[in-house]
Amino acid sequence: MYATLGVKANSKHSGELIGTHQKLDKAARRMLNKYLPASSHKFPSIDEILYFEGSRGPDGLKRKSPGVDEPEHFIIPGKDDGVLIGYIRNHHYNLVQALKKNNRERASFEAAWLAHAITDGLTPAHHYPYRKVVDELMNDQDYKRLFGVQIKGIMRGRNLAEAARNNWLYWGAGGVMTKHIAFEYGVAYTITPLPLKSLVPKDIKKDDFQPSNFEKVFYNALERVDAMKMYDEFLQKGWNTELVVRTREVLIPEIVRAITLAWASAFLEAQRGK
């Protein structure tokens, strides 16, 4: 999803134009206020969390140092390699520890990156086997040095013609990454005009707020999202009214619900451990 679209790198206004991650985080933080009103002030505020999104979040890392310790937030439903859930689990654990120590800066960082990983993991465009495709189109080096700057995603080949072909398959009209970007644009433009209250899941209950069920919450949400086959339909038909409706009424509330309950579980676990 987009977190830095339309603003220069490191801007304090990162994400204000079209910031999908930021808007989802705002909705989730509002949910904590509603369901944990007496103690939600002990959790980082939305301003503290959003400080570590945009240019200071995972997407910003890709721009600052492409290929260096980049988190890969991809997951193939039904063929989970454990990488993404490992990121989620680590951020959740670190968030619990930071909350126990009242380290708000570290807690803000972990809350932001935890939410980012969950959001990407529940985004249908992240359920495509990109790594397999990239490995087929690239050689051992993922980057080509162009004018002294590392450029991510430049496909290589054994000769100029093959390199051109590989780049077209990746970046050209109908290319793998072009389609990925187009899907996320559709989600971004769907969510941008919506008020926060419309992003809140209607089926969330007080009993859902538990200290240790965040992984189950994520996988249940992943199963529901995968069942809609939104990216498959997008690849065949492009964006249409039905996809917009499913994004607005199902996908976005599922993501907000997962973020909210992951944050809540970390907070409740930290409070229980004190």
Per-residue pLDDT tens listing for the chain (274 residues): 655 444 444 444 444 445 899 999 999 999 999 988 778 789 999 999 999 998 888 877 666 555 555 677 889 998 898 999 999 999 999 999 999 999 999 999 999 999 999 999 999 989 987 665 555 444 444 434 333 334 444 555 555 555 554 544 444 445 566 777 788 888 998 998 899 989 988 888 888 988 878 999 999 999 999 999 999 998 888 899 999 999 999 999 999 999 999 999 999 999 986 6
Number of helical (H) and strand (E) elements in the chain, helices listed first: 12, 2
Q: Residue 73's pLDDT is what?
A: 82
Residue 68, pLDDT score = 55
What confidence score (pLDDT) does residue 60 get?
Answer: 74
> What pLDDT does 182 receive?
82
Is 35 strand, coil or helix? Answer: helix
* CB-facing half-sphere around the CA of 223: CA atoms within 13 A: 6
Residues in the chain: 274
Ramachandran angles phi, psi of 76, nearest 5°? -100, 105
pLDDT given for residue 55 in this prediction: 83
Closest CA to 109 of 158, 156, 69, 57: 57
C-beta of residue 187 within 8 angstroms of C-beta of residue 247: yes
Supply the pLDDT for residue 135: 52
pTM for the full model? 0.80
Decide: 44 and 129 in contact? Cβ < 8 Å. no
* Residue ranges of E strands in 80-177: 143-146, 149-152
